[in-house]
Amino acid sequence: MRNQKKWYHGRYMLFVMLIFYTLSMYSQKITVKGKVIDAANNLEVIGAAVQVEGTSLGTITDMDGNFVLQGVPTKGNLVFSFVGYKTVKAAIKNGQIYNIKLQEDTKVLDEVVVVGYGSMRKKEVTGAVARVNSDEITKISTSDLGTALQGMVAGVNVQASSGEPGAKSNIQIRGLSSISGDSSPLYVVDGVPFEGDPGLSSSEIASIDILKDAASAAIYGTRGASGVILITTKKGKEGEMKIAVDGYYGVQHITSNIHLLDANESIFVKVMSNRMMEGNQNTDDLAWSNLKTYPVNFFNNSSLYEYVVNNNAPIQNYSVTANGGKKDLTYNLTANYFDQKGVLINSDYKRYNIRSNTHFQRGKWTINTNIAMKIENQLSPAWGLLNECYDYSPTRSQIYPQASIVNAAGDPADLQGVSYTLGRLKEENHKDTESFNGNFYLAYNVIPGLNVSTRLGFGYNNQKAVSIRPEFEVYNQKGEKVTSSNYRSQLKDTHSKNTSLTWETMVNYNKKIKKHDIKFTGVFSMEKYTYEMFYASIMDLVTNEIPNLNAGTSDMTVGTGSGQWGQDRISTMVGMLGRLQYSYADKYMASASIRRDGSSKFSEENRWGLFPSLSVGWNISEESFFDRFRWLVNSLKLRFSYGTTGNQNFPDYSYAPAIYKNYDYTFGTGTSEILANGFTQLGFANPNVKWETTQQLNAGIDMALYNNKLILGLDLYKSNKKNMLFPMVVPPSNGGGQSSTVTLNAGDMENRGVEFSLTHRNKIRGVNYSLTGTFTKNVNEIVSMAGKNELYFFPDGKPVSSGSDYVTAIKKGYEAGAFFVMPTAGVINTEQKLAEYQKLQSSARMGDLMYIDTNNDGVLNDDDRVYAGSGMPDYELGLNFSADYRGFDFSMNWYASVGNEIINGTKIYTYQRRTNKELIYMWTPTNYTSTIPSYRTEGHNNYRAHTDMWIEDGSFVRLKNIMLGYSFPKSWVSKLGLGKFRLYVAADNLLTLTKYDGYDPEVGSNGLSRRGLDYGTYPISIQMRGGFQINF
C-alpha cells in the first residue's frame, strides 16, 4: 500500500513537473533571424515587414534584406509583407534561419473600379473605364485637377485655358460633345454630381475613375454626353489615428519672350513705313511723330515688360490628414492650403480646403457623412495684360506703375494713352468665393443581397467679384495738371450665390446562383439648382484708396451687360434609372441600363428624354481552351458597348422669350428730349427645342502578358451627336440689334477615334519600375447643318455668317472650330506681279500682300476662304515613367500634342501696332527680297487677322513633370516616432519642344470659339519646387 502511494506520488510529481516545463516553454522568448528576397530574381527586399501574427511585435528588413527579431514566443506564426507582394506566413521554430521568398501580387484584373452607382472588379467591366490613383496626380503642383490628368488617360484631352493662377483646364473626353453647350464632363464626388469642377485639392482624393463610353455614362442620362469623372475622396481606416503632413515650396518663371523693337529700331521702322505710306512717300521722315518738337523722346527706350512680368513668383502647398477609427466608426480629416503668385503682376490665387469623411456601420445599418468647405481668393490682372507690353512704343515716356502720377514730358498728345496704359497696369480683379458641400448617406441591408440606401447632397457657393480700375493724374512739361487726358476710374461689383440640392434613393440586389452572378440597381433622383446674381458699377471714384460704390461721383449703373446679369434662375431635374448586370463564371458579362430624365431647361412637350445602354464582355482567358496560351497571356477580355446620352449644358429658358432691360430710347427733340429706359427682346422663343443626344458604339480589348508585367488596352469608338443646339443670331431688323438669338436644333456631328495604352511593370536588380504610354486620336466632323450648309463663324459662342477678322468656323464636312482663312500668295516684289494683281485689287502697291481669288469670281471676300486646320490635335501622346530603388524614387511625365494649328494673335497685334522686331526686315525698295509685307497703317490689308500668314504649327512635346525623392529607412525614422519621412525635388513644364513662335503652344482653349487662338493669353510657367512628406 505504501509502495502504491509512492508510485502515485511520483506520478503526480512528474505530471506537475511536465506542466511547469510546458508553461516555461510557452513563456520562453527566442530570437529569430533570416532574409527576405524577391522570388523572381533572388534580390533582397528592403524594408519588408516582419511581424509576429496577432501582436505588435515586429521589425523590417535592412539594406541587405536581413532581419533579426528578439523576444519572439516559441509558438505562433511570422507574417512577412511588402507593398506589391503577396503576404507570406511561416511557423515560428527555434533555431531556424528563415529564407523567405516574396512573390509579386500581380492580380491586375482584380482591382476594383468605380462605375457610377456602385463598383466592380476590373475584370467584370464591360465599358470603357479608366482609373487614376491619388499618388499619380499629387506629382503636379497645380490647383487644377485637369492639369494633373493631362497625358495620364487615353481619350481624355486636357488643354490649359491659361497659365493664370486658379485657372481651370478644359477637359474633353473623346472629342467635342457640343458646339454651343458645355463640353466639360460631369463631375461626381462620392456619389453627388457637381456643376463644374469641384475644386478639390489632390490631398483629398483617393482615386479618379473616368467613364468614357456612352454605355458607362448613360446611367447619368442628361449629363453623360461629355463623359463622367467619378472622384472618390479618402476614407477612414480602422486602427490608431495616423497623421500625414506634406508640403512643398517653389518658384515660377515664364518660359520664353516676344522679341520687340528697341527705340532705334522703332524709329527706323516708323521712318521706312512713313516713306511708303500711301500719298506720303515724299514727306519728312519725322512727319509720323513730334520728335522735332519734343526731342526728349529721342532718348527714351521704354519698356513695360520688366514691370508686367513677375519672374520667380512663389508657389506653395501644405496639407494635413488625420485617419483612423474603431471597428464600427472610422474617420478621415483633411486640411489643405494652396498659394500661387502669378508670373504677371496683379495675379494671385489662394485656396483653403477642409474635408471630413466618416463611416459608421453596425448590424444592418450604414451611415456615411461627407462635409467639405472651400475658400478661394483670386486676383487677376486686366485681360490681355501682355498686350500692353506689345503695344507700348519704346519712344514713349517711361512710366512707373508704383507712382500715382504721370510725368508726360514728351508728346502731350500721348498723355491719354499713357494714362490708359497705367490704368490697365494697375487694374485689379478680385474674386472671393466661399463654398460648402456635403452629403449624408444612409443604407439598410434588408436581407443578404438586398440593400436600400438614400443620399442627400447639398451645396452652397457665394462669390463676390470686384474690378477696380484706378485713375492717374497726368502732368505736362510745365508741371500743369492735364485733367482732360485722365483715364477715368471705375469700380465694378458683382455678387452671385448658387445653391444645389440633390436627393436619390437606390435599391441594390445581388444574387449568386452557382456560377451565375446577377446584380440589379434601381435609382430615383431629384435635383434643384438656384442661381442669384447682382451687378453694379460706378465711375469717377473720389480717390483710388476707397474702392467702394459709395465713393463714385457718377451715376451708378445696375444690372447691365450681356449674359445673366441681375437674373435669378432655377433649374430642376428628375431621373429614374434601372440597371441589370449579369456574369457567368467570370467568363461572360453583360450590362443593360435605361434612364429617363426630365429637365426644366426644356418646354413641357420636350422635357423628358430616354437614354438606354447595353454592353457585353468576354473573358477569353477564363476558357479552358486558353490554358495552352497562359504561359504568355495571363488575361484577355473583349468588350462591346452601345449607349445613348443627352446634353442639357446650355442656358436656362432657351425655349422661352427673354426680355432685357437698359435699352434706352430718346423721346422729344431739342431741350424737351427725355431719355427713357426700356426693354427689348433679345432671346426668341422656340418651344420645339429638344435634347441634344449622343449615340456611341465602342469596341475594346484588355490584355495582360508575361505574368502581368505587360498590360495593354485598346478602344475603338464612334459617336453621333444628334439635334445639336445652336444659339442662332437673328437679323437686326427684329429690333434687338446684333445680340438677338433663337435656340435651334440645327445640326449633327460625329466623333470617331482610337485609344491605346500600354503599361510595363517589372523589377530588375532591386529596381521597381513602371512605364505607361498612351495614344489618342479623335476625328471630329460636322455631318449636317440646317439651312444652306454655309460657313458659320463662331465668335463668343454665337454663329454668324459674316467673317470679318474671325477665323474659327463650323462647316459641313469639317471639324467644329476649324480655321477658315484668306489664302495668300506672298509679297508683290516685281512690277509684273503688281500689274497682274492690280487687275484684282486696283489699289495694290509694291510690298503689299497678295490674296488668292479661290473661286475666280474677281472679288475678294469670305467666299475665297480656305480650310487651314484647327486648334484640335491630330493625335496626343502621353509617357509616364516611375522607378524606386533603396529608398530613392524617380518619376517623369511627358505629354505631346501633334497636328494642331495656332493663330499667332500676338504676332498679329505686334505687327499691327508696329512693335514686332521682325518688321525691321519688312519689304522696302532696298529690301525687295523680303517675304514680310510693308507696313502702311494699322488697319491695312497687309496685316489683317483672317489670313494664312499667321497660322503656325502648334505641335509640342512637354516634360510635364520630373521628380526625384528619397524616403529615409524606417529603422531610422521609427526612432523619431515617425512612420515615413520623404524629401523630394520636382519641376513642372521644365522642357517644351515646339516650332511655335509665341509664348507657349498651349493656348486659347476656353471653348470652341477660342481654341488655338493666341491673343495675349496668360502664359504657362516653369515651376521648380522642393517638398516633404511625413507620416506619424
Mean pLDDT value across residues 947-951? 94
Q: Which of 430, 575, 564 is nearest to 498 (CA)?
A: 564
The edge-to-edge listing of strands for the beta sheet with 186-189 is 129-133, 205-211, 228-233, 186-189, 192-194
pLDDT in tens, 235-244: 998 888 999 9
The domain ranges of the chain are 2-102, 108-239
Burial 436-454 (b: 16+ CB within 10 A, else e): ebbbebebebeeeeebebe
- Position 857 scores a pLDDT of 93
Mean pLDDT value across residues 719-746? 76
Where does 439-584 have alpha helices with state H?
none
Please say whether the beta carbons of 725 and 692 come within 8 A.
yes
Q: Is 198 left (phi over 0), alpha (psi -120 to 50) or beta?
A: alpha
Predicted TM-score (pTM) of the model is 0.85
139 grid coordinates? 506629382
Residue 176 to residue 817: CA distance in whole angstroms? 10
Angle 924-273-288 (CA atoms, 0-180°, nearest 5)?
155
Residue 541 to residue 545: CA distance in whole angstroms? 9
pLDDT in tens, 385-439: 888 888 888 887 777 666 555 555 555 556 666 777 877 888 899 999 999 999 9
**What is the secondary structure of 746-801 as a DSSP string?**
-EEEEEEEEEEEEEEEEEETTEEEEEEEEEEEEEEEEEEESTT---EE-GGG--BS
SS3 466: strand
585 grid coordinates? 463564371
Q: Is 109 left (phi over 0), alpha (psi -120 to 50) or beta?
A: alpha
Residue 178 to residue 727: CA distance in whole angstroms? 12
- Position 9 scores a pLDDT of 45
Mean pLDDT value across residues 709-732? 87
Q: Which of 182, 179, 184, 228 is nearest to 723 (CA)?
A: 179
Q: Which of 744, 745, 720, 750 is nearest to 816 (CA)?
A: 750
Does 245 have pLDDT greater than 80? yes
Residue 927 to residue 947: CA distance in whole angstroms? 23
pLDDT in tens, 935-945: 988 778 898 88
pLDDT in tens, 320-379: 999 999 989 999 999 999 999 999 999 999 999 999 999 999 999 999 999 999 999 999
Range ranked top by mean pLDDT from 90-94, 729-733, 742-746, 989-993: 989-993
CB neighbour class for 933 (10 Å; exposed up to 12, middle 13-18, buried from 19): buried
Longest dimension (CA), the chain: 151
pLDDT in tens, 171-180: 889 988 888 7
Residue 724 to residue 678: CA distance in whole angstroms? 33
- Position 214 scores a pLDDT of 87
Please say whether the beta carbons of 698 and 716 come within 8 A.
yes
Q: Which of 883, 634, 878, 880 is nearest to 762 (CA)?
A: 883
Q: Which residues neighbour 463 within 8 Å (Cβ) at sequence distance 6 or greater?
A: 431, 432, 433, 434, 494, 495, 496, 497, 498
pLDDT in tens, 786-804: 766 567 776 654 455 555 7
Q: Which residues neighbour 870 within 8 Å (Cβ) at sequence distance 6 or greater?
A: 815, 817, 818, 819, 900, 901, 1011, 1012
Please say whether the beta carbons of 837 and 860 come within 8 A.
no
pLDDT in tens, 457-499: 999 999 999 998 887 666 665 666 665 556 678 888 899 999 9
Q: Report the DSSP pairing between strands 186-189 and 192-194.
A: antiparallel
- Position 257 scores a pLDDT of 82
Question: Could you give phi then psi for residue 527, rounded to 5 degrees?
Answer: -135, 145
765 grid coordinates? 536588380
- Position 12 scores a pLDDT of 43
**What is the secondary structure of 493-515 as a DSSP string?**
EEEEEEEEEEEEEEEEEEEEETT
pLDDT in tens, 81-90: 876 678 899 9
- Position 263 scores a pLDDT of 87
Does 8 have pLDDT greater than 70? no
- Position 728 scores a pLDDT of 75
Does 25 have pLDDT greater than 50? no
- Upper half-sphere CA count for residue 391 (Cβ side, 13 Å): 17
867 grid coordinates? 480650310
pLDDT in tens, 103-138: 876 554 456 777 878 878 788 888 889 888 887 887
Q: Which residues neighbour 917 within 8 Å (Cβ) at sequence distance 6 or greater?
A: 259, 260, 261, 265
Task: Band the pLDDT of 664: cuts 50, 70, 90.
Answer: low
pLDDT in tens, 29-77: 788 999 999 887 777 887 778 888 866 677 878 878 889 888 788 888 9
pLDDT in tens, 851-875: 999 999 999 988 899 999 999 999 9
What is the average pLDDT score of the chain? 84
SS3 873: coil
Burial 707-726 (b: 16+ CB within 10 A, else e): ebbbbebbbebebbbbbbbb
In sequence order, the β-bridge partners of residue 927 are: 924
Residue 260 to residue 274: CA distance in whole angstroms? 19
Mean pLDDT value across residues 429-452? 94
Q: Which of 576, 574, 578, 581 is nearest to 593 (CA)?
A: 578
Burial 791-825 (b: 16+ CB within 10 A, else e): bbbbbebbbbeebeebbbbbbeebbbbbbbbbbbe
Please say whether the beta carbons of 693 and 722 come within 8 A.
yes
Mean pLDDT value across residues 531-544? 84
Please say whether the beta carbons of 236 and 324 come within 8 A.
yes
Residue 482 to residue 629: CA distance in whole angstroms? 88
935 grid coordinates? 507696313
pLDDT in tens, 264-315: 898 888 888 877 765 555 456 665 566 666 666 667 777 888 888 989 999 9
* Poorest-pLDDT segment among 53-57, 883-887, 988-992: 53-57
Does 533 have pLDDT greater than 70? yes
Task: Band the pLDDT of 564: cuts 50, 70, 90.
Answer: very low
- Position 932 scores a pLDDT of 95
> What CATH number labels 108-239?
2.170.130.10
pLDDT in tens, 958-970: 999 999 999 999 8
> What CATH number labels 2-102?
2.60.40.1120
- Position 4 scores a pLDDT of 45
